[in-house]
Amino acid sequence: MAKLVTIIGGSGFVGRYIAHRMASLGWRVRVACRHPHEAHFVRQYGVVGQVEPVFCNIRDDNSVRAVVAAADAVVNCVGILAEGGKQTFAALQQDGAARIARLSAEENVGRLVQISAIGADGDSSSEYARTKAAGERAVQEAFPGAVILRPSIIFGPEDEFFNRFATMSILSPFVPLVNGGVKFQPVYVDDVAKAAELALLGKAEPGIYELGGPDVNTFRELMSEMLSVIRRRRLVVSAPLWLGRIMGSGFDLLKTMSFGLIRGPLSRDQVENLSRDNVVGEGVKTFADLGIEPTATEAVLPDYLWRFRPSGQYAAIKESARNLR
The stretch 93-105 carries a mean pLDDT of: 98
Q: What pLDDT is recorded for position 82?
A: 87
Q: Which domains does the chain have, with CATH numbers?
A: 4-156+186-213+279-292 (3.40.50.720)
Q: What is the pLDDT of residue 262?
A: 81
3-state secondary structure of 95: helix
Average pLDDT, stretch 198-210?
97
Cα angle: 47, vertex 52, 57; to 5 degrees: 165
Per-residue pLDDT tens for 206-263? 999 999 999 999 999 999 999 999 999 999 999 999 999 999 999 899 888 888 888 8
More confident position, 138 or 312:
138
* Alpha helices (runs of H) in the chain, residue ranges in sequence order: 13-24, 61-68, 89, 97-106, 127-142, 162-171, 189-200, 219-229, 241-257, 268-273, 287-290, 301-305, 315-322
Q: Given a cut of 80, is residue 139 above it in pLDDT?
A: yes
Q: Decide: 165 and 175 in contact? Cβ < 8 Å.
A: yes
Query: Taking the model in full, what pTM does it have?
Result: 0.94
Between the alpha carbon of residue 289 and those of residues 206, 240, 283, 309, 324, the distances in Å are 12, 37, 12, 38, 49
Q: What is the pLDDT of residue 314?
A: 62
Q: Is the pLDDT of residue 311 over 80?
A: no
Does an H or E element contain 317, and which?
helix 315-322
pLDDT at 279: 97
Q: Give CA–CA dist 242/12, Å, rounded.
A: 33
> DSSP 3-state assignment of 286?
coil
Q: What is the pLDDT of residue 324?
A: 65
- The confidence score (pLDDT) of residue 1 equals 77
pLDDT of residue 319: 66
Q: What is the pLDDT of residues 278-310, one digit of tens each?
A: 999 999 999 999 999 999 999 999 999 999 999
Per-residue confidence (pLDDT) for residue 315, from 0 to 100: 67
Contact 51, 69 (CB under 8 A): no
Mean pLDDT of the chain: 94
Q: What is the pLDDT of residue 221?
A: 97
* C-alpha–C-alpha distance, residues 69 and 259, integer Å: 37
How confident is residue 94, by pLDDT bands cut at 50, 70 and 90?
very high
